[in-house]
Amino acid sequence: MTLTQESAARETTLPSGTYLRYYEAGSATAPPVVLLHGSGPGATGWSNFSGNIGVIADAGFRVIAPDMPGWGDSDAVATQDMDHDKDLVALLDVLGIEKAALVGNSMGAHTAIRFATLHPERITHLVTMGASLGRGATSLFGAGDGPSEGLKVLVRAYRDPSPENMKALVEIMTYDKARFATPELTRARSEAASARPDHLKNYVEGLPLGAPIPIRVDRDKIPGIQAPALLIHGKDDRVLHFEITLWLLANIPDSRAVLLNHCGHWAMIEHAEEFNRLVVDFLSHH
């Protein structure tokens, strides 16, 4: 499928009045898959998943990748008012989707995990990559000393989304920085972030309140997740350690994990071909 950002772009308004941009491909009657982006400055449904949307749609799925409120072209929202679980329920309702597979990166993985604990009747599959379990959970088995190396770089880029800080961000998000931290990508991310100073301001002001995840999943409910789960993590992730995925593997009954060598925090970008193959196979056969 030849897919461009312009051809895939859609928009809607949630019952709350929140304007939401999303990207869509595939037949409206196909099994729905929702791709949930991470929290970095300049992150959108398109920037995180442009290499995945068309491929997964071509495999027979209806693919939806929203800009969650507080990111991209969707409405700004203050941290204290943010609840992506409610936003996701509202989006599914607006689109007439009873249940969907959820595929989330980082913050998006946290949203998917929490959704699976709160709305088991509305999720068919759970796929995470570089999963987050909320603030203070960058490594679950080690002592830790606050934000990870990658999260410190991410916050610095929110405070000043210059091309230099975006270059540092892309470098720490990926294993192969020579390939991915290109001047074109870092400039594009810088411009995208700078275009929404309201998003940047809300994130920085919300840090004391737990931004970007003010409401954390209840970990005691995770063993009750019944949806089949595919847990993907880069072995070289410097943002959120793969120990989180090992913990999820031990606690989600119907789960399997894939640990990717030479892979940072963006498995869906760095290893797009393998990621797409893993996700399509999992959604098709489990």
Of 199, 241, 265, 271, which residue is the catalytic one?
265
Determine the Cα angle at 38 with ends 35 and 41, to 5°.
130
Find the helix packing angle between 107-118 and 84-94, rounded to 10°: 70
Alpha carbon 270 to its chain centroid, in Å, reads: 15
Q: List alpha helices for 59-181, DSSP H.
A: 84-94, 107-118, 149-159, 163-173, 177-180
Beta pairing partners, 86: none
Beta pairing partners, 9: 23
**Cα-flanking dihedrals φ and ψ of residue 179, to 5°?**
-85, -35
For residue 265, indicate whether it is catalytic: yes
Q: Which of 32, 7, 12 is nearest to 22 (CA)?
A: 12
Q: Going edge to edge, which strands form the sheet with 32-36?
A: 9-13, 19-25, 62-66, 32-36, 100-105, 123-129, 229-234, 255-260
Find the helix packing angle between 183-194 and 197-206, rounded to 10°: 80
The residue whose two tokens read 């929490």 is: 114
- Active site residues per annotation: 265
